[in-house]
Structure 1
């Protein structure tokens, strides 16, 4: 298969199963008497097994959007449905279960425990999961079997991010949410991380959502959403995605 066709092979329209739906989502933060609106009546569907990139500048609301999708934050208005469950009406216990069982988070900064090895960092996530895979399998999937006994300080930035991906993956989540996963990395290392995420989407059928300020990453996705000033400015298919190796910024 040509490299340009390797990422997120599209399903037919009939096969586009909606995994998560945002319906008229608004978010306003309140500090004292000051109200700061961040999202304004956002409608978005995320399909099962898709590779979606959400692009927007700093302050556009994309991180808030991701946090609402992941159950870290709650909307001021609107509804969030995950596999027909109304997440926006979950209590704290239900939200905790939702995050543990369905969502894998990958952030710009790796948030690894420095006193634990790579394997132990992954085990921490496995231990709180309902149906985890083997931590060694998760590390193998991100190409780090030979670094499992190393501590974060002994790993490069790219290797630490791959540990973070393995930690998210070990829970066997339905949805991987990646907030600027290449933001702290150079181009070559960033491409490797994007390649790992594309492989997990293609080979394991994981739904991957990346938010980024870097529009070049959108070239990898089958669908690109642009957000600006708290609203969806554009949502369009990308019929000719490129491989991670071809991404440049």
Structure 2
């Protein structure tokens, strides 16, 4: 895979304001993510990992610092609202802990919503086949298990054919066996399609399948570890 840097985070801090009260969440974050990486960001609740993921995905802006996408072409941190919308639509796929599927739409229809947003969108049936749900295309979320719903959510995320796949606790609501299957899907998308995956979790066991692990605590990066020999998702246990 290419070693080019796809995301560069430079001295990024984020502070939220609640009336006159300042709530610092991130402080002086520096991080580079390369094309084809599988990065796992590990930290306890309240450590700032979700905020960092939201900044990478253009769902929020840093208070100070810069975030680059395909440096030096695009400085995400200085985008206007329309530019952020275009960035999320064309380049970023999101996978959340609780699926966020539309209950009145079939699996195909849920994925189609995303595929139609991008100029290079994938065929919904093809996206569902990639996650092993070709037999569930006409089923509604209520007719599927939690693991199957998360697979639909992943298919929806990749249907735009994004370069970045950002995952917020994707196994948090799942048991070990189902969680492994979801991690297997993400691993497949990373290895076979070259998607850059950034996954945040409080579960340090998942970091064993990453190419790089970022440990975050109290709004700062405590350590970063390169993993020369990632294990397969089937080997993970928690």
Which runs of 5 or more structure 2 residues have no equivalent in the other structure?
none
Please report how far the alpha carbon of residue 92 of structure 1 lies from its aligned counterpart in structure 2 after TM superposition: 0.3
Which residue in 1 is equivalent to 2:88? 99
Aligned residues: 236
Which runs of 5 or more structure 1 residues have no equivalent in the other structure?
1-10
Separation in structure 2 between the aligned mates of residue 232 and residue 16 of structure 1, nearest angstrom: 22
TM-score (norm 2): 0.98
Which residue in 1 is equivalent to 2:60? 73
* Structural mapping, 1:196-235, within 5 Å: 196-235=185-224
Separation in structure 2 between the aligned mates of residue 91 and residue 60 of structure 1, nearest angstrom: 28
> Structure 2 residue aligned with 1:38, among 6, 25, 30?
25
Please report how far the alpha carbon of residue 222 of structure 1 lies from its aligned counterpart in structure 2 after TM superposition: 1.3
Which residue in 2 is equivalent to 1:142? 131
Which residue in 2 is equivalent to 1:152? 141
Q: Deviations over 1:29-54 (max 9, x none)?
A: 00110100000000000110111111
Q: Secondary structure at the match of 1:149?
A: coil
Separation in structure 1 between the aligned mates of residue 158 and residue 77 of structure 2, nearest angstrom: 24
Separation in structure 2 between the aligned mates of residue 82 and residue 206 of structure 1, nearest angstrom: 15
Please report how far the alpha carbon of residue 27 of structure 1 lies from its aligned counterpart in structure 2 after TM superposition: 0.2
1:181 aligns with 2:182: no
List, as ranges, runs of 4+ consecutive aligned residues in structure 1 with deviation greater than 2 Å.
none
TM-score (norm 1): 0.94
